[in-house]
Chain A
């Protein structure tokens, strides 16, 4: 893998730090009028998700990380791995629980997710921004309530729990924003 000098650092560049692939978020050039220049770099570690600041001497370099985002369709879970497939090449990739993380509660068969691969292995799974899932359990709401004031918890087919308006019932399919975990609307039929 190539190495990158601090003057090539920019938002989005993937580098290795402490043995972990990282994404550069910001790169600020710091230099006293008399003396050594530094780069103050804000970094997200791609496995732990931690965001931290790291100072480099200007001119120092870091090893590039072989990190690739790819869109794959979710197939099934075999109890240990979550299997995904490239719809063009039919190539399959298996992600473990650590890589799937919190996305587990949004995975619906055939939905296309973004998998982050490091050296070809998945380290993160990002679900689509919006998913449509069936409500498997929720308390019956009050008749005539259409304003949705307050709302109520609803359990979805994947096990996720979201707050929904009172008028939405068990068996209905709803649209959820996976980034915030919030109810958006009833699904379009």
Chain B
């Protein structure tokens, strides 16, 4: 009989989790990368329309009234402020919070490993992500494939040229007509085809880096200087799991401001409240973010792979529902 006070992980997995966390810290220690721990609470929410912050109120004895604070969905803005201040290469392994996310691979509070390499581009960082993966689990050499080549191979469409009508036809052929009929945003259909078709077709036994995502899904990545239809963003998939997301980091403050504004336009279209733009982060970019590549990797998911767990609850002490 399982009681709600008990952990959902086994004590055996808890011990292995501890060992793996130490092995990850060793990996960065060997490479002389500084461990940092930035705040979980931030004055600015995230602008990404597909992420939902937890929010709380800050009451300070030295101030009247209360201030809204948000639990960070990733430590990206704070870490980039450190990079702009001259920290050099840094990593952080800590909690991130995403409300409204729960499932086999999602817990609202989860452990995220994020690191930044000054002077690296995203290709060099992919190599380092692969080295870390091999430091923790036995895996074959990773494949590297462009987003476009996967769509061409598995669906026969070019995601950078395809019309909305062709996208809808492609979705209908695969049985997604109820979504295709009402969807107005091409990126949603591309994400649907990627998650529900391509991800289920690729060989789960080989780590796969997907790079050159469409510019419309660039997030905080630089655009590819040779083809501005795509961004220098990559994702790592292994054993059916999306494990990491990385960028050749956008350093241009004006471009960053524009992307935040585009996020807010999309939020308005989706009927979501406008998200206040993090002015301290923009100020740090104005002061100068060095050329760097950064990546965020889901530690609980890496543990699921390492410990062959079927559900995230098997590798975390207490899921949010029992926390």
Interface residues of A (CB under 8 A from B): 7, 28-38, 40, 54-57, 60
Contact = CB atoms under 8 A, between A and B. Distances in A.
Given A55-B179, A57-B179, A36 B192 contact: yes
Interface of B: 48, 50, 100-106, 175-176, 178-179, 183, 187-188, 191-192, 194-196, 217, 219, 235, 242, 245, 296, 298
Contact of A55 (B176, B217, B242): B176
Contact of B191 (A7, A29, A35, A40): A35
A33 B50 CA distance: 9
B195 A38 contact: yes
Contacts of A54: 175, 178
A40 B196 CA distance: 8
B50 A36 contact: yes
Contacts of B298: 33
A35 B50 contact: yes
B101 A31 contact: yes
A30 B103 contact: yes
A36 B106 contact: no
Contacts of A60: 178-179
Contacts, number: 60
B101 A29 contact: yes
B101 A34 contact: no
22 contacts: A28-B103, A29-B102, A30-B103, A30-B195, A30-B196, A32-B191, A32-B194, A32-B195, A33-B245, A33-B296, A34-B48, A34-B217, A34-B219, A35-B217, A36-B50, A38-B192, A38-B196, A40-B196, A55-B192, A56-B178, A56-B179, A57-B179
B50 A57 contact: no
A37 B50 contact: yes
Given A29-B102, A31-B101, A55-B196, A36 B191 contact: yes
A68 to B, nearest CB: 26
B192 A31 contact: no
Contact of B242 (A7, A33, A36, A37): A33
A32 B178 CA distance: 20
A36 B188 contact: yes
Nearest to A27: B103
A35 to B, nearest CB: 4
Given A38-B195, A55-B176, A55-B196, A29 B106 contact: yes
In the A-B complex, list the 8 residue pairs whose CB atoms are closest, starting with the nearest. Answer: A29-B103, A35-B191, A36-B188, A33-B245, A36-B191, A34-B219, A55-B196, A30-B195
A44 B103 CA distance: 21
B235 A37 contact: no
A32 B195 CA distance: 7
